[in-house]
């Protein structure tokens, strides 16, 4: 992809601001049974929060702004203080007394690192972005996530389909590029809520589950293997639904991008040893941050995807979503140490 000339600079990340309470447990218990908490961590959660912190830690050389809603409580102050420490402009993260700051209890099994989430939507459910004035913002990209987990923005809109689609359209009208991310859920809401937003998205960055549910494709074969043909078809379908520039789909095996002009790019993930994995909660948002970094800077798509899989690998080293992230040079060095997997596609 060629860089698009723009006087705008920076990223505005809006949506879910969450504090994750990550608990490593010896086993996930049956009902009315006990499990032992081996260790506990507190960290970031939600697409804009994770993406913004990851970009800051990668050393992005452009302004990073946050937008959303937190409660007037300790978790809300935690988020605002964290943004200040990482030089993220939090002036558009408002504080409310109407609901608590959103949080998630993440129960992570010691063996295999499988996760179970107990989520309180809190203040995120109330945020509709109505206070945003995109004409006054100098950011180049508006990233919105997670669709399906923002009640006010997932609500219907008579002109655009959803309130989120209307917000994205306003950002585009002001001259910004728009990016969307989706939460993975087992429901039939994808076509009703995600599809309208795609008509006003320049970039869609989804995992294979989200892409498959939105586009109507099964991207995993019955044996669990990735169906690369179905994945390509899903990306094409998402572009037909209205994504203007590029669809990026990530999965444990790597990442794939298809641009509006039909350019396909594959990148295998790194071949990490099992003992390296501290947790998988933040890998998708780390991947997203790597892609957005590259898109903002006008990099070729192969470099975007390599940066994305390296960022995901850095995230996997820690049980929380962002504590594993390092400066870009350190993150890219992981590709030399662990090497990409073989056999994802003939291209890889």
Q: Which ranges of the chain would DSSP assign to H, the alpha helix?
A: 47-58, 74-85, 151-154, 163-173, 190-198, 208-215, 228-240, 283-297, 301-316, 328-338
Q: Can you tell me the distance from the alpha carbon of 253 to that of 225, in angstroms, rounded to the nearest whole number?
A: 10
CATH of 11-338, one of 3.40.1190.20, 3.30.499.10, 3.40.50.620, 3.90.1150.10: 3.40.1190.20
Compute the chain's Rg from CA coordinates. 19
Three-class DSSP category at 33 = coil
Taking only the tens place, the pLDDT of each residue in 125-164 is 999 999 999 999 999 999 999 999 999 999 999 999 999 9
Count of CA atoms in the C-beta half-sphere (13 A) of 286: 34
Instruction: Give how far the C-alpha of residue 137 lies from the chain's centroid of Cα atoms, to the nearest Å.
Output: 22
Q: Can you tell me the distance from the alpha carbon of 340 to that of 241, in angstroms, rounded to the nearest whole number?
A: 32
**Residue 345 pLDDT level (bands cut at 50, 70, 90):** low
Taking only the tens place, the pLDDT of each residue in 37-86 is 999 999 999 999 999 999 999 999 999 999 999 999 999 999 999 999 99
Is the pLDDT confidence value at 100 over 80? yes
Q: Can you tell me the distance from the alpha carbon of 201 to that of 265, in angstroms, rounded to the nearest whole number?
A: 20
Q: What is the mean pLDDT of residues 247-265?
A: 97
Joined together, the tokens standing for residue 215 give 């586009």
pLDDT number for residue 112: 81
Taking only the tens place, the pLDDT of each residue in 18-44 is 999 999 999 999 999 999 999 999 999
How large is the greatest C-alpha to C-alpha distance in the chain, in angstroms?
60
CA-wise closest residue to 284 among 254, 247, 259, 304: 254
pLDDT number for residue 3: 44
pLDDT number for residue 279: 86
Taking only the tens place, the pLDDT of each residue in 101-132 is 999 999 989 888 888 989 999 999 999 999 99
Contact status, residue 312 vs residue 281, Cβ threshold 8 Å: no
């Amino acid at each position: 992809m060629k860089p698009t000339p723009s006087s705008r600079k920076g990223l505005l990340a809006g949506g879910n601001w969450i504090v994750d309470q990550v608990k490593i447990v010896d086993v996930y218990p049956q009902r009315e049974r006990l499990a032992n908490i081996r260790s506990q961590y507190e960290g970031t959660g939600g697409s804009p929060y994770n993406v913004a912190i990851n970009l800051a830690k990668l050393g992005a050389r452009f302004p990073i702004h946050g937008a959303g809603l937190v409660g007037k409580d300790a978790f809300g102050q935690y988020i605002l203080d964290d943004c200040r420490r990482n030089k993220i402009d939090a002036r558009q993260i408002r504080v409310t007394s109407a609901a608590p700051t959103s949080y998630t209890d993440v129960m992570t099994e010691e063996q295999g690192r499988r996760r179970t989430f107990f989520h309180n939507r809190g203040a995120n459910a109330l945020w509709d972005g109505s206070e945003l004035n995109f004409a006054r913002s100098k950011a180049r990209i508006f990233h919105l996530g997670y669709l399906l987990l923002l009640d006010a923005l997932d609500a219907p809109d008579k002109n655009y389909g959803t309130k989120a689609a209307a917000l994205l359209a306003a950002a585009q009208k002001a001259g910004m590029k728009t990016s969307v991310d989706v939460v993975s859920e087992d429901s039939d809401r994808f076509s009703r809520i995600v599809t309208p937003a795609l008509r006003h998205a320049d970039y869609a960055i989804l995992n294979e589950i989200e892409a498959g549910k939105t586009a109507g494709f099964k991207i995993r074969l019955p044996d669990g293997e990735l169906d690369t043909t179905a994945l390509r078809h899903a990306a094409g379908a998402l572009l037909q639904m209205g994504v203007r520039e590029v669809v990026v789909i990530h999965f444990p095996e790597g990442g794939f991008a298809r641009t509006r002009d039909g350019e396909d790019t594959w990148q295998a993930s790194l071949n990490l040893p099992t003992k390296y994995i501290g947790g998988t909660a933040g890998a998708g948002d780390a991947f997203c941050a790597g892609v957005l970094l590259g898109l903002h800077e006008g990099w070729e798509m192969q470099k975007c995807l390599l940066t994305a899989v390296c960022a995901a690998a850095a995230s996997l080293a820690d049980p929380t979503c962002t504590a594993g992230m390092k400066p870009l040079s350190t993150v890219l060095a992981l590709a030399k140490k662990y090497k990409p997997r073989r056999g994802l596609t003939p291209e890889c």
